[in-house]
Chains A and B, each alone.
Chain A
Amino acid sequence: MCFPRSTEEVAAAVRIAALHDRAFVVRGSGTGLAGGATPLADPLVIVMTQMNRILDIDPVEQVAWVEPGVLNLDLSRAVAPLGLHYAPDPSSQHACSIGGNVATNAGGPHCLASGVTSAHVRALEVVLADGSIADLGGLIPDAPGYDLRGVFVGSEGTMGIATAIAVHLTSNPPAVRTLLLDFTSVEAAAAAVSGIIASGILPAALEMMDAQITRAVEDFVGAGFPRDAAAVLLVELDGLPAGVAADVAAVERVGLAEGARTVRVAADDTERELLWKGRKSAFGAIARIAPDYYLHDAVVPRSRLVEVLHRVYEIAAEQRLTVMNVFHAGDGNLHPLIVFDAREPGIWPRVHDAGDAILRACVDAGGVLSGEHGIGIEKRDFMPLIFNPDDLDAQAKVRDSFDPSGRANPDKVLPAGSRCGEAQRIPEGAWI
């Protein structure tokens, strides 16, 4: 395990690993939900927590160069006096690192309108698996040539290590309002989501929580989330004051038309922050119900949200498990959480079966495996569900062109046998 403090030290560590033909795994804050930073088979673990300096802030160009260990929220706080923030806001933003965000192409509630991490990363300095240092992308958007920066973002440490990142900073909107709508059925809440989008409004964030998770969250923050709601929607609108006021009225109208019991508009920043704290604590708060959880992150077409949700509840009931849903409703990014107590004998197979079934149900509904958490080891073996062998082979070739040695975070993302050659190679000595 090593804790480099500079790009040169990272490169040196990688070269030493190469000399000894050892794999290496990068680790940020370890909040990843797909096991991407989990060391398999004794690799060198390179921990980025000590590379945590903000290198440069250019308020005019709205760009900051940061080291990968800088925490997401620390960056937003550092630029707050300039009226700026870093837009992607994963619920783990207090704790996760920008490097980890880049590697997983993280999203967050406020990525509905502004796009996920990739849309906010301009340039990268990376250390490749042979220890060489490369610059990807540039400060000017849409530079000619292949977008290698875009390839690297979301590569989960399998193409090298990001050692410096130029991120785009977003101006704080002049006006922000947050609404909490509460419903007596999940269908009504889902209908309201569709209704809001159909009315032409693109909220800054549009989040849904079901009954159980709402109660757990309320126990932690005490923000006044209705304990008896079947589902709540958290809607954030931002922009110019007049436009925001009109949108608030429109969302209220749609919500009530779809059967919202109450629509609460947060009165001030404190109330807004408390509501968001609730939403962002959701995963953590589940331990109040049971100590372990198994989480998926599939994205389904918004039009099939209700149908998939019902299937999810059914699957859980079949396996006698509790499932809760908290998700980015605006873009159909589900987060079904199976909560359980691992100490209960024989529970693991049920949890896994339910997880598999849920994922398949999402894919069957035209969805994809992961909206934002990445593939890691956890979803690796599901990749063939949505990619055919040719797709996987193409992906493996891209990966190989960054890391021909295969030592950068091996056995993650792509399932064994992705390379065509691998699947078809006939073992030596097999000639009979």
Chain B
Amino acid sequence: MTLHLDDDELVACVACGLCLPHCPTYRVTGLEIASPRGRIAAMRSVQYDDAPIDAAFVGAMEECVQCRGCEAACPSGVAFGHLMEETRAVLHDTPGARPRLGQRAVEWLGYRIVLPNRVLLRMLTWLIWLAQRLGLVPGRFGLPKLAARDLTIRLDSDPDPEAFLFTGCVMDAWQRAVHRSALAVMRSTGARVAPSPNGGATCCGGLHTHSGRLDEARALARRVIASMPGDVDIVVDSAGCGAAMKDYGRLLGTVESEAFSARVSDFSEWVVERGLPELRTTGRSVVIQDPCHLRHVQHAQGPVHQALALAYDISTTADDGLCCGAGGAYAVYQLQLAAAIRTRKAEAIRNASPMATATVLVASANPGCAMHLGAVAGLDVRHPAELIEEALP
């Protein structure tokens, strides 16, 4: 059995262990097999020593949040994210490694039918809203409380826009208020802006890449690219989607996809680059949580700090941007690990807060992290766009 991993990438790890403390699953378990070094060693034994792809191997791979904290910490430049994506892709195609039929059916529905389909997603959202109103959704599902007011928000387009705000799938259905704030802040730089035409054809495919569904991810990427031809800037206010879209060049390997990726920026990156108007000082303090896909993957967390510092007393967690455990669908699959990682993160956030207030205001540039952390009592998690909008003159 082989994983078809790139030899040079796989041998690049010198087993120094410098990545260990930056790995959330190692931090909460202390287990080598739950660490980047352990996972690479396991990949090597499958690829080189004929170790079987058994439940233990699959478990070790699935427990990885794919936060890529290890990649940012690794001085040897091990491309861990890529190794893990490829491994997941192989697992996805390996009959013995697949989950049971029921789960596969649900995944198929989710990844193939719901995420790429706006209408369906919105219908489902309203169904969830209704179920929440009727008290049918247990709190342990960790779903955010949906408000009808937010679900009906309209996003206005300026004529002849200079930039599109990519609206995406789940975020478009659940977090329109963030999109509205993002558009308002983008306009405050003097630019003409609009939500992505036809929703940018919805899902970016990031979640698909993570779970090894590379063919589906590629099809979605092509759709997104086709929906926004030309050279208008593409602004993304979800760190996860932004990371995926900046990586289309590698995913598809075409000139066109590379050109598309080059047009993509994170929301804060773009507004800081364009120049924000003078903001009002709010006098409030906010702890900034750097989403992994912004910090470790896009390396673009700086502008969030820059922008928020104009209006807030900012502070940061002293954990080198350790993951919060949200990881796209991770929080759904790995309930216990995700919760343990979150507890650790919440503590780091509270320690970073200059005052011991009952609620700590937190800024997170990724909707997944915001929902995951938002479920912790005492954390009020907002998107930087909302916080900046509040401080607009």
Interface residues of A (CB under 8 A from B): 3, 29-31, 47, 49-50, 52, 69, 71, 73-74, 77, 92, 94-96, 217, 219-220, 281-288, 291-293, 341-343
Contact = CB atoms under 8 A, between A and B. Distances in A.
A271 to B, nearest CB: 16
Interface string B59-98: 0000000000000011111100000000000000000000
B327 interface: no
- Among A73, A94, A220, A283, max chain B CB count under 10 A is at A94
Interface stretch (B16-24, B171-179, B373-381): B16-24
B185 interface: no
Nearest to A293: B14
Interface string B29-41: 0111000010000
B11 interface: yes
A287 B75 CA distance: 8
A284 B11 contact: no
Nearest to A219: B77
B314 interface: no
B12 A31 contact: no
B318 interface: yes
A29 B77 contact: no
B21 A31 contact: no
A176 B19 CA distance: 28
B13 interface: yes
Q: Which 4 A-B residue pairs are closest in the complex by CB-CB distance?
A: A284-B75, A49-B30, A287-B76, A281-B75
Nearest to B76: A287
A286 B318 contact: no
Contacts of A95: 16-21
B119 to A, nearest CB: 47
Contacts of B75: 217, 220, 281-285, 287
A375 to B, nearest CB: 19
18 contacts: A3-B30, A30-B32, A30-B37, A52-B30, A94-B22, A95-B16, A95-B17, A95-B18, A95-B21, A220-B77, A282-B75, A284-B74, A284-B76, A285-B75, A285-B77, A287-B14, A291-B12, A293-B14
Interface in B280-334: 318
Given A94-B21, A95-B21, 15 more contacts: A3-B30, A31-B18, A50-B30, A52-B30, A94-B22, A95-B20, A219-B77, A284-B74, A284-B76, A285-B76, A286-B14, A287-B12, A287-B77, A291-B8, A293-B14
Contacts of B17: 29-31, 92, 95-96
A73 B16 contact: no
A343 B8 CA distance: 10
A30 B31 CA distance: 11
Interface residues of B, number: 24
A94 B30 contact: no
Contacts of B77: 219-220, 285, 287-288
A77 B76 CA distance: 25
A286 B75 CA distance: 8
A217 B76 CA distance: 9
A284 B18 CA distance: 8
Nearest to B12: A287
Contacts of A69: 30
Nearest to A72: B21
Contacts of B74: 284
A95 B17 CA distance: 6
A62 B37 CA distance: 35
A94 B76 CA distance: 15
A387 B4 CA distance: 49
Contacts of A94: 18, 21-22, 73
Contact of B21 (A71, A287, A288, A341): A71
A291 B16 contact: no
A283 B16 contact: yes
A245 B13 CA distance: 42
Contacts of A3: 30-31
Contact of B14 (A30, A217, A219, A283): A283
Nearest to B9: A291
A73 B21 contact: yes
A405 to B, nearest CB: 27
Contact of B318 (A77, A96, A293): A77
Contacts of B37: 30
B16 A288 contact: no
B32 A281 contact: no
Contacts of A292: 11, 14
Given A285-B75, A286-B76, A291-B14, A74 B32 contact: no
Contacts of A29: 17, 20
Contact of A31 (B7, B16, B30, B76): B16
B30 A287 contact: no
B232 to A, nearest CB: 31
A219 to B, nearest CB: 8
Nearest to A48: B30
Contacts of B18: 31, 92, 94-95, 281, 284
